[in-house]
Structure 1
Amino acid sequence: MDKKEITIYDIAQEAGVSPATVSRVLTKNAAVSPAKREAVEGLIRKYKFRPNAMARSLSDTKTKILGLLVADIRNPYYAALSVACEEAANQQGYTVMLCNALSDNRLEDSNLEKMYEQRVDAVIQIGCRADDLVSDSAYAAHVNRISRTIPFITTGKLDGTDCYRLNIDDVASMRMIFEYLTSLGHRRIALLGGQKKIQSTYDKWQQYIYLMGKYELTFHEAYLQEGDYSEKAGYRCMLELLELKKPPTAVIAVNDFTAVGALKAAAEKGVQVPRDISIISFDNTFLSEISTPKLTSVDYNYAAFGQRLIEIAVKAIQNQKIPKEQLVTPTLVIRDSCTQAQER
């Protein structure tokens, strides 16, 4: 094991003791059995371990700090949920340590380890590799090492781990969108943006296909436009849809970013929203309010979402019995971007 990578938690794990026991050995505390002291001191000598200042002060007391590991705070969805978490944490007497992964797995690992070493009382992960359809086994092992000591909560999934999950009900989200669009007479409905390797997008795609059948709508493969989650992807995918011989009368965008890109493409082609084509999206961020027209979008009630994440973390810290998996129930905020279907 590389000396530079050794932490007080590694010593504790290999010795089969708690991090607090390692701390007591380091501070010459007498309240450690001879066998445990010998095991810990042997590993300290073996790895030439030098604890940092934070590790030296480690004890059984809590830090009242929650680690918040976020995919990218520049995305308004993550920004809104992060702010909601921080506000809820402050109300509970906790401080938030925020780190961004920025689509960099090494940075994600590093930030997670920093939180661990800084003795956060729990880690809440929003996005990042917890969103992957197929979980990264090495990352799951990293999370497992941490979750043995402190609670780990995610808004995604990590197969092979014992973390707490608070997930958006994507099935309910897509169902309410279809109920709304079909009530407006739409039968040619497209789904735009997102990547199938992401769990939430995969679930949306599967539910879309199921609902097309349920409502006896004709499925067109060209109506499923895979991209990513950016405005550029929304723009490109919308252009492709508008070039079809029979373009859709309604488009479901995977998030507000892609919806904004779709609006831009429609405007450039002289297609009026919602007169000529309806657009609906997910996330209900500030973008849905400032776009023209204002977007109808699926809302997750960020304040309540953040409150529940913090409540799960605090209850787990206090060793209260809580469900391992819970769901966030979405609502549909209706604005100006959808209207009755106009056959073309």
Structure 2
Amino acid sequence: MKKENITIYDIAKEANVSPATVSRVLTGNAKVRPQTMRKIVDVIEKYNFRPNSLARSLLHKQSKTIGFILPDINHPFFSTLVQKCEAHALELGYTTFLCNTMNNSSNESKYLQSLVEKQVDGIIYLGGRINDTDTDQEYAEEMKKVMERIPVVFVNGQMAGVDAHMVRTDEESGIEKLVELLVNLKHKKIGFLGGLEGISSTDVKKNTFVKAMKSKGLGVNKDWIFGTGFNIESGEEVAAQLLYLRERPTAVICANDLVAIGVIKVLTKFGLKVPDDVSIVGFDDIYLAQHFPPGITTVSQNYDQLGQTAINVLVGLINENEAEKETVVPTSLVLRDSCKLFSES
């Protein structure tokens, strides 16, 4: 046996004992007969064996590790949520592997395989392919094969044909609250900016916006519904397009807070005041939303509850407990200074 390839099973075989007995010696959790312990220790010393976390937990067949797959660690939604998840996982005795795919499907596949090879106990999946409105069947088959070996929990996403456990925030309710707020502030001309078609979070928010407007008896102007992405730059782009319109909305709901920041930057640059000339609201309640002038009214994703719930569901599955297929975490409205009562004057 090569020293670098030695495993707890090799130790057990040469010492003529069970892997569980070797595990007890390594952890000191139970008594082992002195002569048996001597045999095991001799083999361990012979190969200079240093058990890793996987070897130490073989008795329970768990590595006590969790993998995270996410599309963009720079995006505050994902970084904040992972931070909350990781903190709760540590409380439950789990360490984590963070896999940032950089919005690349090929990287997603590589990381999935890597986490399986590392024998993580479970995977939290954020964004990427689980946010595609139309599921790629090749990706779905790949995901199902992974789920045959280890549990996976989707956060704010799903895949057609993949029977995964999901934890999601109530994005529909969040958009309804924003529409309700703006209507109560006497706005009738309301737009929706940001996001991308074919991404489920955008489709859900946009469709909910249209329904909520119609339920209030308000018309929906398609010229006021468009987007090019989810970052500040895309917010600047849609704001520039907004400026060219002959008729503009008096209030705008943005797909997320980064888009709202971009919109406010450009409108302010061209002499429009927020909220005096136009009211702007966002979504997510990232850290910047509170501090970017004038302070962005938004919808909180309740990161603490979302992160803890995702980890609790995954750990339950790891321990072979029953769990609801879908768990919905409520959103909440956060009022700041980026919207005000509409006045004709």
- The TM-score with structure 2 as length reference comes to 0.82
Alpha-carbon displacement from aligned partner over 1:216-272 (angstroms, at most 9, x marks no partner): 112211010121111111111112223222211101111111111001111111000
Tell me if 1:144 matches 2:138: no
Taking the aligned partners of 1:64 and 1:322, their CA distance within structure 2 comes to 19
Task: Give, in angstroms, the shift of residue 319 of structure 1.
Answer: 1.1
Task: Give, in angstroms, the shift of residue 24 of structure 1.
Answer: 7.0
Alpha-carbon displacement from aligned partner over 1:46-103 (angstroms, at most 9, x marks no partner): xxxxxxx99x969561010001111111101101000000001011111011111111
Say if 2:71 and 2:104, in contact at 8 Å, map to a contact too: no
1:1-344 alignment runs, 5 A limit? 59=58, 61-155=61-155, 156-343=157-344
Aligned length: 300
Say if 1:147 and 1:162, in contact at 8 Å, map to a contact too: no
Taking the aligned partners of 1:125 and 1:262, their CA distance within structure 2 comes to 30
Say if 1:66 and 1:120, in contact at 8 Å, map to a contact too: yes
Alpha-carbon displacement from aligned partner over 1:173-226 (angstroms, at most 9, x marks no partner): 111111111010010000001012001110111111112211111221101012
Task: Give, in angstroms, the shift of residue 343 of structure 1.
Answer: 3.4
Higher-Rg member (1/2):
2
Taking the aligned partners of 1:220 and 1:242, their CA distance within structure 2 comes to 15
Taking the aligned partners of 1:134 and 1:343, their CA distance within structure 2 comes to 43
Q: Specify the code of the residue in structure 1 equivalent to 2:194.
A: G
- The TM-score with structure 1 as length reference comes to 0.83
Unmatched runs of 5 consecutive residues or more in structure 2: 1-7, 19-50
Task: Give, in angstroms, the shift of residue 333 of structure 1.
Answer: 0.4
Taking the aligned partners of 1:103 and 1:293, their CA distance within structure 2 comes to 31
Taking the aligned partners of 2:243 and 2:191, their CA distance within structure 1 comes to 11
Taking the aligned partners of 2:180 and 2:333, their CA distance within structure 1 comes to 11
Say if 1:84 and 1:307, in contact at 8 Å, map to a contact too: yes
Give secondary structure in 1 for the equivalent of 2:282.
Answer: strand
Give secondary structure in 2 for the equivalent of 1:154.
Answer: strand
Taking the aligned partners of 1:243 and 1:269, their CA distance within structure 2 comes to 12
CA RMSD of aligned residues (A): 2.2
Task: Give, in angstroms, the shift of residue 30 of structure 1.
Answer: 10
Taking the aligned partners of 1:166 and 1:142, their CA distance within structure 2 comes to 21
Give secondary structure in 2 for the equivalent of 1:282.
Answer: coil
Aligned to 1:8: none
Alpha-carbon displacement from aligned partner over 1:147-172 (angstroms, at most 9, x marks no partner): 11211001110111121101121211
Identical-residue share of aligned pairs (%): 31
Structure 1 segments (4+ residues) deviating >4 Å: 27-31, 56-60
Say if 2:168 and 2:306, in contact at 8 Å, map to a contact too: no
Say if 2:66 and 2:95, in contact at 8 Å, map to a contact too: yes
Taking the aligned partners of 2:64 and 2:160, their CA distance within structure 1 comes to 28
Give secondary structure in 1 for the equivalent of 2:183.
Answer: helix
